[in-house]
Amino acid sequence: MEANYLKYLLEFKRPSGTSRGVLLDKETFILEIAENGKKE
């Protein structure tokens, strides 16, 4: 089994208000898991 992650930046079309302030973008990660050449 093999796991990889990709860093991805979400850029909002409009500012998004939260209890901690206003977000214009959000860093997130995508997890990719593969076993025997098959990705899940």
Residue pLDDT, tens place only, 1-40: 899 999 999 999 999 998 989 999 999 999 999 988 787 7
How far apart CA 33 and CA 2 sit, in angstroms, is 6
Check residue 36 and give its pLDDT: 83
Residue 29 pLDDT: 97
What pLDDT score was predicted for residue 22?
A: 95
Residue 19 DSSP SS3: coil
Going from the C-alpha of 3 to that of each of 9, 10, 16, 19, the distances in angstroms are 20, 22, 31, 33
